[in-house]
Amino acid sequence: MLRISALRLLGRRGASRVSLSEDFSLRHYSSGPLGVRGDTRDSRAYFTTPIFYVNAAPHIGHLYSALLADALCRHHRLRVPSDAATGFSTGTDEHGLKIQQAAAAAGLAPSELCDRVSAQFQQLFREADISSTDFIRTTEARHRIAVQHFWRVLKARGLLYKGLYEGWYCASDECFLPEAKVTRQPGPSGDLCPVSLESGHPVSWTKEENYIFRLSQFREPLQDWLRGDPQAITPEPFHHTVLQWLEEELPDLSVSRRSSHLHWGIPVPGDDSQTIYVWLDALVNYLTVIGYPNAEFKSWWPTTSHIIGKDILKFHAIYWPALLLGAGMSPPHRIYVHSHWTVCGQKMSKSLGNVVDPRTCLDRYTVDGFRYFLLRQGVPSWDCDYYDEKVVKLLDSELADALGGLLNRCTANRINPSGIYPAFCTACFPSEPGSAGPSGRAQAEDYALVSAVATLPEQVADHYDNFQIYKALEAVSSCVRQTNGFVQRHAPWKLNWESPVDAPWLGTVLHVALECLRVFGTLLQPVTPSLADRLLSRLGVSSTERSLGELHFLSRFYGHPSPFEGRRLGPETGILFPRLDQSRSWLVKAHKT
């Protein structure tokens, strides 16, 4: 953990300990995960991505953060399909020394750099189908109002004091570092330069009078929060890491810079000689978006889930909850943490020239294809490696061959000439395996398939709650394979619609396979929205029949009527997902390099 043990705080110390009990209530975060299976318990949810620095163009790591949040949010909408129930914010982090320096290096005014790069993020997210309901820029007036109000609240509650800060500051990471986290490396001129041990970015010695936040007072409340809600930070290893950090010293935090040094930021209210620390400024974006300081924000806070990368865990899991507690609010409902993407085994960096441009990937693999790849392969608990061949292999096998092939097999004119959802025959596939009469055709594996697909939505919901979207997709993919096995086993192409013996079973095989496809299409909506839309439209599923509450898988098998039986399929719209075969010119080039 990065601690500011190098700080020498020579300020008005020892102000009385803040009482938190009146507004800090366990009630807010002791509830379980958001309602599953369409129940509307705790139905409001607000998801956030980190706001992205505008010093450089977006890369696939940024897109990954946004996609995770988008998939969680879209899955919540499947559970609670009311527009008013889900908020989803993203945006750009535009203040601070890092941006001030990047603009100077590019010969631009900071605002010009911000406009340019913020627009790139907005365009990328539009193209990638990120369904955010707000895009915040920290240079907006609404945000300045929120940050300054938040500051005044902290001040009024006796949590800010003036003191002398002396220590290392890393402008690239916008954070303070204790001596133990600083090392020396040869710089461009060959001289040894101090750098951050963790990020390798240069650090510089800072000595100035700043405002200081009484972070040290929050160690116990933070521990109580985390011990009282073991899922507050998910996956678990990150929860554990934060609790370990809280065992160490928790020094007070410097929360402003001299304006002569940092002018690109929000001035401290009532003291223009100081600019508010960019992390305090940035974190408050989560409140700005929901209307803070107007009371309306209370209907969204704290039903909030922050999605963040592991590099910014300390800011979100220690500083932010402490600031919130200090301002009389509860910590967020969940902090979902993900690891990073590397490229061919290396950290992505401009200097290594290996930054993967997400827009090129969306062009090559399609929006749905690339979304599927990142979410299927990205495992939040550990770093994942990116290379092109991996994308092609995954998409060809799971989307083009398995899923696309299955749809084609069940809807192709030669096998389903009437173009309808055929009838399910209960005599061919009775709900009790032992009760099959002479026309019973279903085998043990077929019952296993029905049972696997019937429990799939719940399994998927559990994986979403545990922030394991890759496992949700793995479970869907495994059911797709099982369904292909079912179709292969019963080879409907060998059965004859004209035969009174074959026809009911042929219809049943197709009905079951189409029902499975309907479940897959519904569950894939959060990850591959447009592919899922095409799939469901091809099955004739209307837009009001696509939520989890409307799923009712294979109702005929369970003795209920099916609204789909006999329904006309939607129009044929071509291949669901085209194979990305090896002949593509860019792939050949990638193989050679």
Residue of 3, 62, 334, 518 that binds ligand MSP (CB under 6 A) = 62
Q: Is residue 406 within 8 Å of residue 483, measured between CB atoms?
A: yes
Question: According to the binding rule CB under 6 A, does residue 65 interact with ligand MSP?
Answer: yes
Question: According to the binding rule CB under 6 A, does residue 311 interact with ligand MSP?
Answer: yes
What is the closest distance, in whole angstroms, from the C-beta atom of residue 292 to ligand MSP in the complex? 14
Task: Specify the stretch interacting with ligand MSP by CB under 6 A; choose among 12-20, 278-286, 351-359, 410-418.
Answer: 278-286
| Dihedral angle of Cα 424, 426, 427, 431, to the nearest 10 degrees | 140
DSSP codes, 337-363 = EE--EEETTEE--TTTT-PPPHHHHHH
Task: Specify the stretch interacting with ligand MSP by CB under 6 A; choose among 128-136, 307-315, 401-409, 505-513.
Answer: 307-315
What is the closest distance, in whole angstroms, from the C-beta atom of residue 62 to ligand MSP in the complex? 5
Q: How many Cβ atoms sit within 10 Å of the Cβ of residue 379?
A: 15
Taking CB under 6 A as the rule, which mask of x and - marks residues 330-369 in contact with ligand MSP? ----------xx------x---------------------
Residue 261 half-sphere exposure toward CB, CA atoms < 13 A: 17
Q: What is the SS3 assignment for 190?
A: coil
Strands 346-347 and 341-343: antiparallel
Kindly tell me the number of DSSP H helices and DSSP E strands found in the chain.
19, 18
Site for ligand MSP in 73-102 (CB under 6 A): 93
Match 């978006």 to its residue by tokens. 289
CA–CA separation, 129 and 63 (whole Å): 11
Question: According to the binding rule CB under 6 A, does residue 283 interact with ligand MSP?
Answer: yes
Task: Specify the stretch interacting with ligand MSP by CB under 6 A; choose among 117-125, 303-311, 464-472, 528-536.
Answer: 303-311
Question: According to the binding rule CB under 6 A, does residue 470 interact with ligand MSP?
Answer: no
Residue of 312, 327, 392, 425 that binds ligand MSP (CB under 6 A) = 312
What is the closest distance, in whole angstroms, from the C-beta atom of residue 464 to ligand MSP in the complex? 19
Q: Spell 199-232 as b/e; 16+ CB within 10 A means b.
A: beeebeebeebbbbbbbebbbebbeebbeebebb
Closer of 66 and 548 to ligand MSP (Cβ): 66
Q: Is residue 509 within 8 Å of residue 449, measured between CB atoms?
A: no
CA–CA separation, 335 and 302 (whole Å): 12
Residue of 29, 46, 52, 365 that binds ligand MSP (CB under 6 A) = 52
Closer of 176 and 421 to ligand MSP (Cβ): 176
Residues 6+ apart with CB under 8 A from 449: 479, 482, 483, 485, 486, 512, 516
Q: Is residue 505 within 8 Å of residue 541, measured between CB atoms?
A: no
CA–CA separation, 84 and 40 (whole Å): 13
Residues in a beta bridge with 346? 343
Residue of 7, 29, 34, 61 that binds ligand MSP (CB under 6 A) = 61
Task: Specify the stretch interacting with ligand MSP by CB under 6 A; choose among 46-54, 401-409, 517-525, 551-559.
Answer: 46-54
Q: Is residue 46 within 8 Å of residue 87, measured between CB atoms?
A: yes
Question: According to the binding rule CB under 6 A, does residue 64 interact with ligand MSP?
Answer: yes
Residue of 11, 35, 50, 526 that binds ligand MSP (CB under 6 A) = 50
Residues 6+ apart with CB under 8 A from 150: 280, 284, 287, 292, 293, 323, 327
Q: Which residue is nearest to ligand MSP (CB)?
A: 309
What is the closest distance, in whole angstroms, from the C-beta atom of residue 10 to ligand MSP in the complex? 29
Strand ranges in 315-457 using DSSP code E only, listed in sequence order: 334-338, 341-343, 346-347, 384-386
Question: According to the binding rule CB under 6 A, does residue 308 interact with ligand MSP?
Answer: yes
Residue of 53, 135, 165, 486 that binds ligand MSP (CB under 6 A) = 53
Q: How many residues bind ligand MSP (CB under 6 A)?
A: 19
CA–CA separation, 457 and 383 (whole Å): 27
Closer of 66 and 472 to ligand MSP (Cβ): 66
What is the closest distance, in whole angstroms, from the C-beta atom of residue 304 to ligand MSP in the complex? 12
Task: Specify the stretch interacting with ligand MSP by CB under 6 A; choose among 141-149, 162-170, 308-316, 479-487.
Answer: 308-316
Q: Is 44 exposed, middle or buried (0-12, 13-18, 19+ CB in 10 A)?
A: middle
Question: According to the binding rule CB under 6 A, does residue 546 interact with ligand MSP?
Answer: no
Closer of 55 and 274 to ligand MSP (Cβ): 55
Task: Specify the stretch interacting with ligand MSP by CB under 6 A; choose among 50-58, 114-122, 152-160, 444-452.
Answer: 50-58
Task: Specify the stretch interacting with ligand MSP by CB under 6 A; choose among 189-197, 229-237, 242-250, 280-288.
Answer: 280-288
Task: Specify the stretch interacting with ligand MSP by CB under 6 A; choose among 3-11, 29-37, 51-59, 576-584.
Answer: 51-59
Strands 256-258 and 271-276: antiparallel
Give the angle 258-262-263 at the CA atoms, nearest 5°. 105
Question: According to the binding rule CB under 6 A, does residue 392 interact with ligand MSP?
Answer: no
Binding stretches for ligand MSP (CB under 6 A): 50-53, 61-62, 64-65, 93, 282-283, 285, 308-309, 311-312, 340-341, 348
